[in-house]
Amino acid sequence: MSFGDVVLAGAMTAGRISERAKRLHFSSLVIDTHTDTTQRFLDDGFDFGARNALGSVDIPRLKEGGLGAIFFAIWIPSKITGAHAVKKAVGQIDAVREQVRRHSDNFVLATTAEDIRTARKRHRIAALIGVEGGHMIASDLGVLRSYAALGARYMTLTHTGNVEWADASTDIPVHNGLSDFGKDVVREMNRLGMIVDVSHVSDKTFADVLEISKSPVFASHSNCRAICDSPRNMTDEMIRALAAKGGVVQINFHVGFLSQEFRNAEKAHPEWDKAIALEVRKRCGNSEGRQLIEGERITREYVERGDLPRVEWTKIIEHIDHAVKVAGIEHVGLGSDFDGANMPFGMEDASKLPKITQALLEKGYSEGDVKKILGENTLRVLAEAERISRELNAAEQVRTAVPN
Ligand SMILES: [Zn+2]
């Protein structure tokens, strides 16, 4: 962390949120395109309606953070495949839908940009579903269509491991990007109006997606590789190409993707990662939701001991600002990775989101520009994917019509 970061973080954490920032933030549609809270819904004893001491997302904190829409990721490890993966994914989709039903005074399930705007008018938070990892379709377009029918609005093509038809950014490439079937998956997602999410995929898979996809795509939780050199982050060239296609890079809050210093420290001590994973298993057994939360807590213990560097939340602003400079104001958004990653100091949970609005105003962003980053850019991509879906379906109808 530079001296400038310390001063900026100090000024911003000490300073309250101005009236102007509050007014702007709470009148904007704030959208978070990636949270891992779904796993917690399956854990015993988690009450979404109460303010929890652990984790980053629950209804009280979403309200304090002014969230208008939130995407719940459906996630299982890449190594789980086939029918088992489908069963687990359907269970998680059901868990999201059940939480929305139980908390219908605060939540409503949304699948379109219009649904999100309507939810706001009715004073509800829009809940959306994203499937994080193509391994969950078990190489079956019928399963993909079923997820879309259940409300899934995007699919991240891979998680950390390759799938049967696409290479991931953190695995050894075997498909040279997308296989022929992988290209069919992208085409079918376009027809369904499901957004193709390029977070986690390899650079070559990303290039193939941009070539095939008729709709704009987004990276639901990715950062700038120019600032932190992780294969999970995007190069300036990739960000520019994503923008040229009308897409959005949603900035991730995970310290390992925000800070080069943090990443270097982790790489220098791979044994810590193993020790943290072991400790997590000891404390949580097989409960995936608790594992994610506990992993973050133990990582914080390493930071507090001085083993891992402290990363401030202002690093998020640095990535947003860089992405805006590279891609333009229309192509940047927010994808926190709350409840699934290690949050920086000052952005521990969803209630802290108004700080982003405050910081962007202090940096000289106009109110209109801040609104775009908070959610309007994402709404545009959703609406555009819907429009292209309608066009593709209409074209198919014409092709299959019986001539008379
Ligand atoms: Zn992820």
pLDDT tens for each residue of 182-217: 999 999 999 999 999 999 999 999 999 999 999 999
Q: What is the distance in A from the centroid of ligand 1 to the CA of 303? A: 22
Quick one: pLDDT band at residue 404, thresholds 50, 70, 90? low
Residue 197 phi/psi, 5-degree rounding, is -100, 120
CA 27 – CA 398 distance, rounded (Å): 43
Return the structure tokens found at 145: 């269509």
pLDDT-derived band at 402 (thresholds 50, 70, 90) equals: low
CA of 10 to the centre of ligand 1 (A): 29
Say how many Å lie between the CA of residue 221 and the centre of ligand 1: 7
Helix (H) or strand (E) holding 35: strand 30-35
Structure confidence at residue 285 (pLDDT): 81
- Count of Cβ atoms closer than 10 Å to residue 68 Cβ: 22
CA of 200 to the centre of ligand 1 (A): 7
pLDDT at 398: 82
pTM summary value:
0.94
CA of 34 to the centre of ligand 1 (A): 8
Give distance in angstroms: CA of 212 to centre of ligand 1. Answer: 23
Q: How far is the CA of 38 from the centre of ligand 1 (A)?
A: 13
What is the SS3 assignment for 221?
Answer: coil
Q: Which two tokens stand for residue 189?
A: 């997602």
For 223-245, the DSSP string reads -BTTTS--TTSB-HHHHHHHHHT
- Cα 156 to ligand 1 centre (Å): 8
Does the pLDDT value for residue 14 go beyond 60? no
Q: How many CB atoms lie within 10 A of CB 27?
A: 11
Place 136 in a pLDDT band, splitting at 50, 70 and 90. Answer: very high
d(CA 304, CA 47): 29
At residue 7, the pLDDT reads 46
C-alpha 123/C-alpha 117 separation (Å) is 10
